[in-house]
Amino acid sequence: METVQSIKQRFSIIGNDTGLNRAIEKAVQVAPTDISVLVTGESGVGKESIPKIIHQLSHRKHGKYIAVNCGAIPEGTIDSELFGHEKGAFTGATQSRSGYFEVANGGTIFLDEVGELPLTTQVRLLRVLENGEFIKVGSSTVLKTDVRIVAATNVNMFEAIEKEKFREDLYYRLSTIEILLPALRERKDDIHLLFRKFASDFALKYKMPTIRLDDNAVQALINYRWSGNVRQLRNVAEQISVLESSRLIDAVTLKTYLPNMEGNFPTVQEKNKSQSDFSTEREILYKVLFDMKSDLNDLKKLTMELMQNDNPSDVQKNNEGLIQKIYKKEEVLESEKEPEFLSLPAKPQNENAVEIVKDTEEKYTYIDAIEEEDEEETLSLHDKELELIKKSLERHKGKRKLAADELGISERTLYRKIKQYDL
């Protein structure tokens, strides 16, 4: 069995971090088997090196090695790419095509960004992992393949499973062995080592002297949070190599190439302020919606009592405070006579109306009650209904769907009301 150091030299892996060494050791140990492997880690840490090690050290090393970026293939064509298709299976399928699983039979497939796979494709992949069977798009013939699958992702798989974006059974099939590659910020001793390697490579590539960092620049390099990991470090080394005329780089010059250190991007304080403003606006919106819901519940309660009570006067007397809250005192007590908005029939003509109110409870609103009744509405009810619709439409800038959801009615019913009131 090859040593970790010889593997690093063979596959051009730079670094002495214990986490990196442990990942390579696991790859070497699992390579002779056909166990599925899931490589995890942040974007840019070099996950693509692990499946190459596994393939080259396995008995499949003479078979095909195919790397597939699942996130780069459109959802509509990924099944065809992976499993192939028959002629005429879809528009543009002018001839049959073999998929990666058929082509790589006897070899290894590396599924990069496997967390981006659509759920329908995940079902097909699960079948391949379980018994090596798959079906081409547009075919009914079951085909067999003998493929080693190594997958990689930078997605938190447990969160994806919880949000039902990734199948739990597929995750456990893929992650028989899980290999975690540490982020660059966790490999501080390797950062300057990697930078020197990249600087040397670019000096050779562009035929110029190699750039060097002074002591302060080295400290700035090590203390920086490399969110883009090794890929970001490589890009910074290339930029400095090409753009700087001086070959000795100080900390001030280095920081101009590091985002968030010279104001090139929004600061943490600005971000927090933005989040704070957003939270305030959201709280105001929640309060408005809560008040509206409360008013609608009050209207529902009053309507139910009117429909169930033979004497509207009693309802008015027992609910005077509620009526004043909804319709305002000056509208209710304008005269001593019974207000027009209480002039509903003593009993609803539709005997099922009261049952509907009881059965639907919170989901049933004042406006729904008016629609269920085929009775003629009074002037005050018309005015109040018109006012509610106008306010809701103004609040949602004319978007009928949002207004209908807020009022508790269907979009079709709201459209009919808009036509009725010529809004």
Report the first-to-last Cα separation within the chain, whole angstroms.
80
- Could you tell me which of 193, 150, 152, 183 has the C-alpha nearest to residue 8? 193
Assess contact for 6 and 53: CB atoms under 8 A. Answer: no
> Is residue 249 helix, strand or coil?
strand
The CATH 3.40.50.300 portion of the chain extends over 4-182
pLDDT of residue 362: 44
Count of residues in the chain:
423
pLDDT of residue 348: 47
pLDDT of residue 281: 66
Q: Which residues on neighbouring strands pair with residue 40, listed in sequence order?
A: 153, 180
Instruction: Please tell me the distance from the alpha carbon of residue 388 to that of residue 367, in angstroms, as a whole number.
Output: 10
Residue 312 to residues 321, 338, 355, 369: CA-CA distances in angstroms? 15, 9, 20, 17
- Could you tell me which of 218, 200, 221 has the C-alpha nearest to residue 210? 200
Instruction: Dig out the tokens for 203 from the structure.
Output: 């000096």
Q: What angle do CA 253, 255, 260 make, to 5 degrees?
A: 150
Instruction: Dig out the tokens for 143 from the structure.
Output: 């085909």
Per-residue pLDDT of the chain (423 residues; tens, 9 = 90+): 678 999 999 999 999 999 999 999 999 999 999 999 999 999 999 999 999 999 999 999 999 999 999 999 998 899 999 999 999 888 888 899 999 999 999 999 999 999 999 999 999 999 999 999 999 999 999 999 999 999 999 999 999 999 999 999 999 999 999 999 999 999 999 999 999 999 999 999 999 999 999 999 999 999 999 999 999 999 999 999 999 999 999 999 999 999 875 444 433 444 444 454 555 666 677 667 767 777 777 777 777 766 666 566 666 666 666 666 555 544 444 444 444 444 444 444 444 444 444 444 444 444 454 444 444 444 466 677 778 888 888 888 878 888 888 877 887 788 778 877 777
Type of residue numbered 65: Y
pLDDT of residue 107: 96
pLDDT of residue 316: 63
Phi, psi for residue 55 in degrees, rounded to 5? -65, -45
Helix (H) or strand (E) holding 303: helix 268-308
Q: What is the CATH number of domain 186-255?
A: 1.10.8.60
The CATH 1.10.8.60 portion of the chain extends over 186-255
pTM of structure: 0.61
Supply the DSSP string of 35-71, one letter for each residue: --EEEE--TTS-TTHHHHHHHHTSTTTTS-EEEEEGG
Instruction: Dig out the tokens for 170 from the structure.
Output: 């597929």
pLDDT of residue 290: 67
**Fold observed for domain 4-182:** Rossmann fold (3.40.50)
